[in-house]
Amino acid sequence: MHRKHFFGFIAPAAFAFLAVALAPPSPVAANSKIPCSAAQLRTDMRKLWEDHATWTRVYIISVGAGLGDKDIAAQRLLQNQVDIGNAIKPFYGDEAGNKLTALLKEHILGAADLLAAAKANDQAKVATQKARWFKNGDDIAVFLSGANPKNWPAATMKSEMKMHLDLTLQEALDRFAGKWAEDAKAYDRVHEHILMLADTLASGIAAQFPEKLKAS
For the segment 159-185, what is each residue's pLDDT rounded down to a tens digit? 999 999 999 999 999 999 999 999 999
Range 8-31 average pLDDT:
38
pTM metric for this prediction: 0.82
- Residue 61 pLDDT grade (very low, low, confident, very high; cuts 50, 70, 90): very high
Percentage of the chain exceeding pLDDT 90: 72
DSSP letter for each residue of the chain: ---TTHHHH--HHHHHHHHH-PPPPPHHHH--SPPSBHHHHHHHHHHHHHHHHHHHHHHHHHHHHT-TTHHHHHHHHHHHHHHHHHHHHHHH-HHHHHHHHHHHHHHHHHHHHHHHHHHTT-HHHHHHHHHHHHHHHHHHHHHHHHH-TTTS-HHHHHHHHHHHHHHHHHHHHHHHTT-HHHHHHHHHHHHHHHHHHHHHHHHHHHHH-GGGSB--
Domain ranges of the chain: 38-212
Report pLDDT for 9: 35
Report pLDDT for 5: 40
- Residue 32 pLDDT grade (very low, low, confident, very high; cuts 50, 70, 90): low
Report pLDDT for 173: 95
Residue 48 above 90 pLDDT? yes
Residue 28 above 60 pLDDT? no
Quick: pLDDT tens for 197-210. 999 999 999 999 99
Quick: pLDDT tens for 91-145. 999 999 999 999 999 999 999 899 889 988 899 999 999 999 999 999 999 999 9
